[in-house]
Amino acid sequence: MTKLISVDRCRSGQGTFVVYGDRELAVFLLESPERVFVMDNACPHASGNLSGGEIRDGKVDCPWHHWEFELSTGVCTHSDRARVTCYQAHIRDGYVWAALS
C-alpha cells in the first residue's frame, strides 16, 4: 500500500487532486461512515478533472460533460465502454493509503 495524502488535507465530501510520481489521482473522502475512494483523475471521455466533480449517491459527476462514475468500481453510468481505474484504499493513522499497481 502507498501512503498518498494526510486525511486532514482531503476535502470532505469532495474530491482532492493528488499527484504521486507520474500518476494523477482523485481521492474522495466521504463521511458517515468515513470512507475513502481513489481513482485515476482523468475522465476516460475527454480527460476531464474528476477530482473537481460533484459527489452524488456514491458517484462522481465529471464536471466537463457530466458522465457519472461509481466511486467503488469506476463503472460509468452513461456508457458501458467507459470505466475509470480505481484503487483499493483505506484510512490508517491519519493517512489515505492506496494499492497502486
Q: Which residues contact 58 (CB under 8 A, 6 or more apart)?
A: 70, 71, 72
Please report whether residue 65 would count as binding ligand FES according to CB under 6 A: yes
**Site for ligand FES, residues 66 to 85, rule: CB under 6 A:** 67
Contact 97, 90 (CB under 8 A): yes
Residue 64 makes contact with ligand FES by CB under 6 A: yes
Sketch the per residue contact string, 9 through 48, with ligand FES: x for CB under 6 A, - otherwise: ----------------------------------x-xx-x
Q: How far is the CB of 36 from ligand FES (least distance, A)?
A: 22
Which is closer to ligand FES, CB of 5 or CB of 62? 62
* Cα torsion through 24, 1, 11, 44, rounded to 10: 30
Q: Which three cell numbers stand for residue 36?
A: 475513502
